Amino acid sequence: MTAHRTPPAIAVALVAGVMLIACGGRDEDTAAQTTVGTATPAGFADTLRAARGQTVRWWLYGGDEKVNAYVDEIVAPAARRLGVRLERVPVTDTADAVGRVVAERRAGKASGGSVDLIWINGENFAAGKRAGLWLTRWATRLPNARYLDQTDPAIRTDFQVRVDGQESPWQRAAFVFAYDRDRVRTPPRDLDGLLAYARKHPGRFSYPAPPDFTGSAFVRQAVAAKGEQAAFAYLKELRPFLYRRGATYPKSETELSRLFGDAEVDFAMSYDPAFVNSEVRKGQFPSTARPFRLGDGSLQNTSFVTIPAAAAHPEGAQVIADLLLSPQLQATKADPSSLGNPTVLDLDRLGDRRALFAGTAGSRYVLADPGRSLPELRADRVEALEQRWTRDVLRPSS
């Protein structure tokens, strides 16, 4: 989890401890209208006024240079125009942010917390929701939330857990693969084709070992496409044809990308649909690298931000969350020269602002169409699948 945005590990155990405890100026107005919307609700106008002068500490994964640049160079200046200072707090794992919230809850801190906003993953959100860690009834009241399709399961739920106004989306993700067209003439079309390729070219395919998120996502994609029993039979059949005969697995997406860049394996993978573009620009992948998807469907989900109930600056955090939904910032983020992430907005709701997305059609390094969506599994199934993979695939009984 270094070069690319890889959703972080689970902090369920930390949150479980909390559950046990729980049981026993004018220019600024103009800027707000431009970035937040032309019809800012009266209630949110009060939020904007309260947010002025606040410093929002946004805890998020810090290993993706493009995300860091987007936050520092696009989001932070937009926030300053609204009188809000944004401080990016980089972490290597979302568990660090959740752990801080948990520790402050245990210490009895009900307000004034050091975490104002978190880029959260589904497992941590679900656990925190059960523990009552998150601010409620705010996300659907954001002015720019009107551009969302609230009936879309990818907006309404996070890993099949209802959002219930406790987190706000800011980007979409899809599980995609990479190949080098100088080495592979035609990439596999589906999971069965991938197995056939591995049989024909033993040692040229691998995936990160769960619980690394990318490796876990590959397992989940197989489960979503084939069903659990058939998927694990598939993974066991695939193992002897993997890199080093499956005796070792890459520890992370970064390590797999290095193997691909060094031509030791023929495919890479990521939950970032623009990862090929990023790696080519950095020189990690050759210019002949291209993204592709499998015909079985692509695992897809949405990235969200959440606000701890004890945040010191909840008003400022809501302003940041609303900025992340603004058509202007979403269009900037969708551009392949920026992050290249698909927008979370419903383009049919944008009216004239849809034109902002005219120049974000994509490039040869960004997969424009991730194909049929395979919905994420329930958050409570993820760890169980990872444990089964360790038991049945990594260390099968003799």
pLDDT of residue 3: 32
Spatial CB neighbours of 337, under 8 Å, sequence gap ≥ 6 = none
Residues 6+ apart with CB under 8 A from 5: 61, 63, 64, 67, 173, 271, 272
pTM over 0.75: yes
Ordered DSSP codes for 241-310: GSGGGGTS--SSHHHHHHHHHTTSSSEEEES-TTHHHHHHHHTSS-TTEEEE--TT-EEEEEEEEE-BTT
Q: What is the chain's alpha carbon radius of gyration, rounded to the nearest angstrom?
A: 21
User: What would the pLDDT profile of 340-359 be if each residue is shown by its tens digit?
Assistant: 888 999 999 999 999 998 87
**Closest-CA residue to 252 (of 221, 218, 284, 208):** 208
**pLDDT at residue 332, as a whole number:** 94
Handedness of CA 131, 133, 136, 139 (dihedral sign): negative
pLDDT of residue 360: 66
| Token reading at 300 | 């897809």
**Pairing label, strands 176-180, 167-174:** unpaired
Give SS3 for 108.
coil
pLDDT by residue (tens digit) across 117-152? 999 988 899 999 999 999 999 999 999 999 999 998
Residue type, 263: A
| Confidence band, pLDDT 50/70/90 cuts, at residue 361 | low
pLDDT by residue (tens digit) across 58-103? 999 998 888 999 999 999 999 999 999 999 999 988 889 999 999 9
Q: CA torsion angle for 261, 263, 265, 266 (degrees, to 10)?
A: 90
- Residue 291 phi, psi dihedral angles, 5° rounding: -85, 155
pLDDT value at residue 206: 99
Domains and CATH numbers, the chain: 12-173+301-367 (3.40.190.10), 176-300+374-394 (3.40.190.10)
CA distances, 113 to each of 14, 55, 175, 270 (Å) = 17, 12, 35, 33
What's the mean per-residue pLDDT of the chain? 89
Q: 168-197: buried (b, 16+ CB within 10 Å) or exposed (e) per residue?
A: bbbbbbbbbbbbbeebbeebbeebeebbeb
SS3 337: coil
Cα 156 to Cα 315: distance, rounded to the nearest angstrom: 22
**For residue range 184-237, what is the model confidence (pLDDT) as tens digits?**
999 999 999 999 999 999 999 999 999 998 999 999 999 999 999 999 999 999
pLDDT at 215: 97
**pLDDT value of residue 10:** 38
Is the per-residue pLDDT at 4 higher than 50?
A: no
- Read off the pLDDT band of 55 (50, 70, 90): very high
How confident is the model at residue 40, as a pLDDT?
Answer: 58
**Model pLDDT for residues 153-199, shown as the tens digit of each residue:** 889 999 889 999 999 999 988 999 999 999 999 999 999 999 999 99
Rounded to 5 degrees, what are φ and ψ at 167? -150, 160
Pairwise CA distance, residues 312 & 131, whole Å: 19
